[in-house]
Amino acid sequence: MLGPSNSWPQQGKEICDNPPRYYRLLQIGALLRALDLMPAPSPPPPGKTLAQSRAFLGKVGRFFRTDKDPAQMEALLGELDRFFRAEFVNLRTSEEGRLIREKLGPHWTHEDYRDGRAVAPRHLQAITARLLAYRGRVHAVTSFNDGVIEASLIFLVSSSFTQEINGEVTRAIEPLDDLLALIIDPTGRTFSRDQLIAQHGFPEVDLSALDDAWY
């Protein structure tokens, strides 16, 4: 979806010109807001609702917002960059920090760190940032076969072989997913799609139709 993080600030207009990327980024922003990981969005212009600022073209699900703002995208990319740098870890309470340290317990190799005496929020931030980066690379591997619509027999052989490995990797990564879920939201909140749309600005679009239109 995105290039290297150091190029994100320059990608605002490019994302606005690509509806699949644009709406996915808006959805990510809504999730970050729901989890209190980024500021609330600015209110819509006076007298203008979200529905009024959106147009529907044709029958292929091509949505585009008439109020697209590259600066908004660049700000959102900045928040996403801060998320991947795990700055939110510094907002965790001492009790939440303790739960995270306990979850990492078997991996503390020095006694001072094992009992938490020398563990500071910046340590947990550095650990989380590295785990997020690792999880991103694992996703790149397990999604290796995604997006294939049609393939030759030769391709299917390699796809079947690698997909079997991907299944094993997905199962093996579950403890990391559980740990990241605890770090990102220690209270384990859940949200319905309707809640995300009504309260956090989650865009109500058909991503599959958008992908088909922009394939």
Instruction: State yes or no: pLDDT of 191 exceeds 90.
Output: yes
Closest CA to 18 of 33, 31, 4, 2: 2
176: its two tokens: 């990391």
Give the CB-side neighbour count of residue 215, counting CA atoms within 13 A.
Answer: 11
pLDDT at residue number 211: 82
Measure the CA–CA gap between 183 and 131, rounded to whole angstroms. 11
* Domain boundaries of the chain, sorted by first residue: 1-92+189-215
Distance of alpha carbon 182 from its chain centroid, rounded?
Answer: 15
Dump pLDDT digits (tens) for 131-173: 999 999 999 999 999 878 788 888 899 999 999 999 999 999 9
Dump pLDDT digits (tens) for 99-131: 888 888 778 877 766 666 677 888 899 999 999
pTM: 0.78
Closest CA to 124 of 155, 150, 153, 93: 93
In the block, tokens 């094992």 appear at 114
Closest CA to 178 of 119, 102, 79, 118: 102
pLDDT at residue number 74: 86
Amino acid code (one letter) for 80:
L
